[in-house]
Structure 1
């Protein structure tokens, strides 16, 4: 008996907080006008996508005091945009990236619970951390956390938010009435959570939302990120865009679920991918080359080079060879505050690889940077791209994709009109929505409040009022 075809999950990433956007294209539109957000969302919903995804930029990226030429000025607040999109869509999920390093659990939980209510159960939270003092300067606490510390804060932050989401226990009234000890309206939302990062207690004032809590996303490929996703997330946003790397990542993360008492289908793996479509494969390849040159200007190439070399290379010719000197290993001097050099675990080894690649292919600095930062994951005719997407999912390299177009707001249109119908013909993508909530779109089971509370309590000293901690007068015991 042949293996049943897996259904592909698709989502749309609104371009902006990334290095894929092409400002110089005549078709490029506004990044901040609501009409752009609405266009992308309506296109995604027309194509029956699972959700639209907003990244987060808490500070404009800069280096040497200069803003990156591909960054976005004036990015609107995530919750404001998603709430507005809830009013112009009916089924599309609404996913927002909200930082766990510079926010507080009560505020974030309240905002997401409200969004889930306003949208009828379509909210999702992408839990991320921030690791640099550069962004921290915008916040009172400032500074930055070491990687192991920021993931521990993220875990405790998410646990605290789950306590808040689970604190509205009205669904347990019937079960508690027999003992004469039951929850009354006066007990709704009572919570207590004491861990290293948070010591909070009070009342959550948003009733249980349609999904119970938002769908939880996590973005990160590090060891800490993989473990965090396996223990707590419903989906993981990854960067692995090749079959080999995708299969290895898929097997690794799915293999971690069992120790947390989770089944393989309880975590969806969704790489962020780019694409270029053309009438033929050759046409698409030529178009992709032109796009990459627009995405990586000479200035961008030098700035990226500085992140590895950890030196001021402002006088370097991007159309010439790589620098003759080696990267400076040690304290980050050029991208101060961002610690961008940390992206390269071994700068000297990476520089050697780049030099060998440049020499073998006779590449200039700019051409080399285009080569090593290439972002078009799928290039070809609609038929070619549809086949490649389906191969990824059917061979367990992913459960679907978060598509990152290079144009705003029209970049998703061709994909929706040409690739989606081909996937539908293959029987691997829906032709109509079967549910109304994002959890249903993703094929996730309903949230079980008791299981949520047990999972949090197992990893902390969190407590949520239940029948045995509530008196007949409805007061939670201290």
Structure 2
């Protein structure tokens, strides 16, 4: 059976995705940037528009990382504003479960779902570093296993709050009268949360907002299989995608779920050209723009854990071995793993291909997914989905705010001609777009 492709748009943020030097690059804060990208996605009949979250300005060598985005508006506030200038596009916010409370998050998401007519989604994430925790009263951070148990209980508690209102609790069209018995007192007594009371927002139009999860660890995959509607994957290569797809989908039956209950959407990029050669040239230019000489040294410092500012980014890797102590980067997840293993892998790759520092970082930290003509990219997207490497994709453009224009104008019509992507929305809610059932208590 031919599968229908799901598409979503990510507003680019931190790391080296955005090419700030491009004269077409716009503001990261001005509402018009969010509006343009969201309305372009809606014009392309995308399922949803996705915003990441940043709870602290990241640092490098004890100073604010000046190659990063300085200032990221709070996601749910932006999406509430976008609900007034879009009509069908889903609106997905990343909201942290480590440094928030279930009642407040459930209330804000239910409000967004009402304001948008059933288009809200929540990307449930955890926080892994004490550096971010310093911004919050509780401080510190939880062990990885505790982060997921807290996240699971956080989500369970939010669902209990949404379910405390019966679907027909409000009997008047203007929401003025509450049917007797339409609201239940909630009581949750668990390891992480003990709360009792009455929820003050009616049940969301979708029952529950769509739940997104982005973890790739074994615990993260289980959490997605048990609780999520969408998993935001990093596996954008065909064979890796198929292996991830098989693994996560195979976990669903143990939670009483079917394959269609969870959509797997890798984060991807694209570059179009009039010919394959033209696209490849443009892709190479974009990768060099994404990895400036300063960015290259910054990435190497993050792995090596040392100040390498004296090294030539167009020269060879330093002879120094990495310092595997605390490191020089704060708040950057890509440097939290086994840096010694990464350094060894990078050194082997640099020797094999005779790469300079900058060329190495371009090779490893600026990957591109779909590069080609509109026709070849459309064919490749379809192949991924039809061969079970993904259910669709979340596109992360390299320009703000016009980075999706070419995709929507040139590639989407070809997918529609193939009959694998909708010509128009068939329902008003995000659950309709994703082919998910409405959540009922």
Q: Please state which band the TM-score falls in when normalised by the shorter chain.
A: over 0.9
Partners in 1 of 2:49 and 2:365 — Cα distance?
A: 25
- Unmatched 5+ residue regions in structure 2? 171-177
Note if 1:214 corresponds to 2:209: yes
Equivalent-residue separation in structure 2 for 1:215 and 1:87 (angstroms): 19
Aligned to 1:439: 431
Aligned residue for 1:364?
356
1:350 to 332, 342, 352: 342
Partner SS, residue 256 of structure 1: helix
Give the Å deviation of 1:349.
Answer: 3.3
1:412-427 to 2 correspondence within 5 Å?
412-427=404-419
Does structure 1 conserve the Cα–Cα contact (< 8 Å) formed by 2:168 and 2:182? no
CA distance in 2 between counterparts of 1:388 and 1:170 reads: 42
Q: For each residue in 1:91-136, what CA deviation from the matched residue of structure 2 results, as whole angstroms up to 9, or x when unmatched?
A: 0000010000110000000000000000000000000011111111
Q: CA deviation at 1:170?
A: 5.0
**Structure 2 partner of 1:469:** none
How high is the TM-score relative to the length of structure 2? 0.95
Partner of 1:379, secondary structure, is strand
1:333 and 2:327 aligned: yes
Counterpart check, 1:296 vs 2:291: yes
Deviations 1:195-249 (CA, angstroms, capped at 9, x unpaired): 1100001000111111011000001111111111011000000111100100000
C-alpha separation between the residues in 2 aligned to 1:211 and 1:8? 22
1:476 aligns to what?
none
Judged with a 3 Å threshold, the aligned counterparts in structure 2 of structure 1 residues 339 and 328 are, in CA distance, closer, same or farther, namely: farther
Q: 2:29 matched to which residue of 1? A: 32
- Residues 1:227 and 2:222 aligned together: yes
Pair 441,18 (structure 1): closer, same or farther in 2 beyond 3 Å? farther
**Which residue pairs with 2:87 in the alignment?**
90
Structure 1 range deviating more: 220-229 or 66-75: 66-75
CA distance in 2, matches of 1:128, 1:69: 25
| 255-264 vs 370-379, greater mean Cα deviation | 370-379
1:151 and 1:5, CA in 2 relative to 1: closer, same or farther beyond 3 A? Answer: same
Question: How many angstroms does 1:370 deviate by?
Answer: 0.6
How far is the alpha carbon of 1:338 from its aligned partner?
5.6
TM-score by length of 1: 0.88
Residue 353 of structure 1: CA displacement? 2.1
Q: Which residue of 1 aligns with 2:60?
A: 63
RMSD: 1.8
Contact 2:6 2:46 in 1 (8 A): yes
Task: Determine if the alignment matches structure 1 residue 149 to structure 2 residue 141.
Answer: no
CA drift at 1:171 = 4.5
SS of residue matched to 1:101: coil
Post-superposition CA distance 1:331-350 (Å, at most 9, x none): 32322566764223xx3333
